[in-house]
Structure 1
Amino acid sequence: MRAIRLFLCGDVMTGRGIDQILPTPGNPRLHESVVHSAVEYVELAERRNGAIARPVSPVYIWGDALSELERRHPDVRIVNLETAITTCDDAWPGKGIHYRMHPANVTCLGAAGVDCAALANNHVLDWGRAGLEETVATLQAAGIAVAGAGRNEQEAALPAALAGPDGSRVLVFAFAMASAGTPSSWEATSRRPGVALLHDCSAASLGRLRDRIGAQRRGGDVVVVSIHWGPNWGYEVEPERRRFARALIDQAGVDVVHGHSSHHPIAVELHAGRPILYGCGDFINDYEGIGGYEAYRPDLALMVFVALDSAGGAAELRLVPLMRKRFRLGYAPPADLDWLQEVLSREGRAFGTHAARSDVHELRVWAD
């Protein structure tokens, strides 16, 4: 059997300003302390980089990412969808930011061929439990599998089972942690919808995940664990996160640890030949006109392509840096690609990894 090829990325935030430029913008009303209409985020971006002709087509926001997806043709495409897809107006009380996209705009996810949306994060219940249920139903009706959230604890815990080549499967388990701002009250229970919450990185938590994975896994399956964890800014990876990620591979047989929450890419590790993405960074967002944190280059996004050898060999890990401009992804200019390569190599030293240019738009990561 040939290698299984995966595409992964970090936070896809198609709500708020992004929703307002798509064909069917939803109610723009916000409950933020300063900004009260999602349209203002579009205007901020336009003041920064120029006018956005509205409405845009569903393919617009993906830009050059579509060319890379077409060229590489991954078997499975996985994103962390950090947006409610709903018309509900039940904004979660006490929460400063609420993301939502009109259900008719789910076509923008189909335009990129998204196979699986990880929903265990700190924005999927921004518009209440009814909003979450509409999100799940809308995605499933669009043929997009979900992981990490559901109508009850049992549904939230189930993996998305995606078809791979030659009869193989890719199982995607998704979890959120409080360290990424996920409220404990969002946890799914037997009586209420919510997300699959990972309470800590303890041995007990690892054991529960190992048992959950073992109950679903069949021979030949590839297992991805998608975790929303850690702060939005900064490169530090706490020792407990590193130990837990490695143990997922060593003890639970996980093939890819897909971490997200950081607004910029952070360290990548290859442990026992399997990739640990501690933070993929934002992929699509409406932050273009917002100042602050420029040192982290939050305007850069990262496509992650993983090829997993069915015979158990080391994974091949290739990255394509992109830049957001006018709410559209384009190839990162050479100087920006080089900057990201230096950052990933610098941060990777502690993890024994190195990044280097391998093509005009590509970085390859390998273990030293």
Structure 2
Amino acid sequence: MSQVKLLIAGDFLPMPCNYDLFSKGDTKTLFGDRLCSLFASADCRVCNLEGCFTDSDSPIEKTGPNIRAPTSTIKAVKNLGIDYATLGNTHSMDYGKQGYLDTCKTLSDNGIGYFGWGDSASEIKSYQELSINGFKITLYNVTERFDNAPGDDYPGVNLYDEYRVCRELNELKKRCDYLIVFYHGGIEGTRYNSEIMRRRFHRMADNGADIVISQHTHAIGEEEYCNGAYFLYGQGNFCFHFRNDVTPLLGEGLVLEADFTKDGFTVKPHRVLRTERGCVYDEAQDLSGFYERSKKHSELLAGDKAAKAEFERNFGNDAKNWLLQFLLTFRGIDPVVAEKRKVLSPEELRDYLLSLYPRQYLNAILTFLRNEEFNEIGQQILSDLLRKTE
């Protein structure tokens, strides 16, 4: 029987701790024999390239880290057999136009295709059409907005606009056997998907997507089967050593195997574990947490109120990781807070800051974040202020 085996890896980029191994192309030390064999067995291999390949020292101005890898480190990515990279993500535009151009050239020179971004807003390459063993498979990449938007004459990524994205998926499905969507978004550090993400995945499936995968959260989430489609909410990292401390979330990830035949497709998640300088195949394949969350997610969708409450409570607990950063940002420059930050633990500082926000102020902030009108006004005001400080 004719079939296609596709392997999909999560967030992937060389980091200073393993630049030397990537530059040598040392996939055995980075990934181990078992993982290398798995990749060698596939007909096609795709990863999310979480950053850019450039030797530039000119990052863009943004909140959060600017991430890149030297162009020489592409060697191990090539040796692992990666065929295509998605570039519609958080960090692909961290080094501006030069980083964009360098990444395009580095990948092209090494025979690696890419999609999810383009030269300008009107020239985005959002998808890649494959023809393998008689099957037509289309890969589509879209991302939420970060510091990555394209301009009229400036490169950027394929941003999520529901009407346009669903229309494009509907048209793409008409000319392929299988359609896979790589969605870059969600809340970093959460193992539980949000209602917004669920709605978006279902709408994309309604318009032809067979498989929808979310990346960016750096955590393994849940899976869902829906009317013949498959959703993976949170793939976790593949090899992305941005942080030195290895939390339980950062210590694992999934490589998704998708096997396509004329009768349909099957999926199989393979758990990988982070090592000091790379990642390896988890011989125990302990996916108990993944399947337990997926079961609870199914119960939520079936209308189980207790499951819904538990799921949303766990989502809220994970999201609390962002609370301190939010409070510090909203508070602005405060000499007293600056002094307390020197002597208080993060938890003590968080509790102190919360004491400065009466309930009505927390409610006002929630309104600004939740309401479309205030959200749009806030973006406009802040954009104008930033332009005046240039």
Contact kept? 1:14, 1:83, Cα under 8 Å: no
Matched, 1:83 2:51: yes
Structure 1 equivalent of residue 313 of structure 2: none
Structure 2 equivalent of residue 22 of structure 1: 22
Find the partner of 1:212 among 158, 161, 168. Answer: 168
Matched, 1:188 2:150: yes
Contact kept? 1:7, 1:74, Cα under 8 Å: yes
User: Structure 2: which 5+ residue stretches go unaligned?
Assistant: 300-390
User: Structure 1: which 5+ residue stretches go unaligned?
Assistant: 24-54, 199-204, 354-368
The structural deviation recorded for 1:190 is 3.1
Q: 2: distance between equivalents of 1:320 and 1:19?
A: 25
> Deviation per CA, 1:270-293, whole angstroms, max 9, x where unpaired?
1122221111001102257315xx
Matched, 1:66 2:36: yes
Find the partner of 2:193 among 229, 237, 253. Answer: 237
Matched, 1:96 2:48: no
Structure 2 equivalent of residue 246 of structure 1: 202
- Supply the AA of the counterpart residue of 2:139: V
Find the partner of 1:301 among 247, 253, 265. Answer: 253
Tell me the percent identity. Answer: 20
Contact kept? 1:148, 1:158, Cα under 8 Å: yes
Find the partner of 2:240 among 276, 285, 307. Answer: 285
Q: How does 1:140-155 map to 2 (within 5 A)?
A: 140-155=108-123
Q: 2: distance between equivalents of 1:60 and 1:273?
A: 39
- The root-mean-square deviation of aligned C-alpha atoms, in Å, is 2.3
Q: Equivalent residue of 1:283, what SS?
A: strand
Matched, 1:317 2:317: no
The structural deviation recorded for 1:210 is 2.7
Q: 1: distance between equivalents of 2:257 and 2:45?
A: 9
Q: Equivalent residue of 1:133, what SS?
A: helix
Matched, 1:267 2:222: yes
Matched, 1:57 2:13: no
> Deviation per CA, 1:148-206, whole angstroms, max 9, x where unpaired?
1121224324312223212x33221111113xxx22xx2123311011111xxxxxx33
Matched, 1:222 2:178: yes
Matched, 1:328 2:290: no
Residues 304 and 189 of structure 1: CA distance in aligned 2, closer, same or farther (over 3 Å): same
Aligned residues between the structures: 298
- Supply the AA of the counterpart residue of 1:60: T
Higher relative contact order (CA 8 A, sep 6+): 1
Contact kept? 1:153, 1:193, Cα under 8 Å: yes
Residues 112 and 145 of structure 1: CA distance in aligned 2, closer, same or farther (over 3 Å): same
Q: 2: distance between equivalents of 1:304 and 1:16?
A: 26
Residues 18 and 92 of structure 1: CA distance in aligned 2, closer, same or farther (over 3 Å): farther
Q: 1: distance between equivalents of 2:279 and 2:178?
A: 29
Contact kept? 1:169, 1:221, Cα under 8 Å: yes
Contact kept? 2:253, 2:271, Cα under 8 Å: yes
Matched, 1:258 2:213: yes
Q: 1: distance between equivalents of 2:242 and 2:118?
A: 28
Residues 104 and 289 of structure 1: CA distance in aligned 2, closer, same or farther (over 3 Å): closer
Contact kept? 2:235, 2:254, Cα under 8 Å: yes
Q: 2: distance between equivalents of 1:14 and 1:163?
A: 30
Query: Normalized against structure 1, the TM-score is what?
Result: 0.74
The structural deviation recorded for 1:348 is 0.4
Q: 1: distance between equivalents of 2:272 and 2:281?
A: 4
> Deviation per CA, 1:136-157, whole angstroms, max 9, x where unpaired?
2211222111111121224324
- Supply the AA of the counterpart residue of 1:131: G
The structural deviation recorded for 1:20 is 4.6
Which portions of structure 1, spanning 4 or more consecutive aligned residues, are displaced by more than 6 angstroms?
Answer: none
Question: Over alpha carbons, which structure has the higher Rg?
Answer: 2
- Supply the AA of the counterpart residue of 2:295: R
Structure 2 equivalent of residue 172 of structure 1: 139
Residues 220 and 92 of structure 1: CA distance in aligned 2, closer, same or farther (over 3 Å): closer
Q: How does 1:102-181 map to 2 (within 5 A)?
A: 102-166=70-134, 168-178=135-145
Higher helix share: 2
Q: Equivalent residue of 2:65, what SS?
A: coil
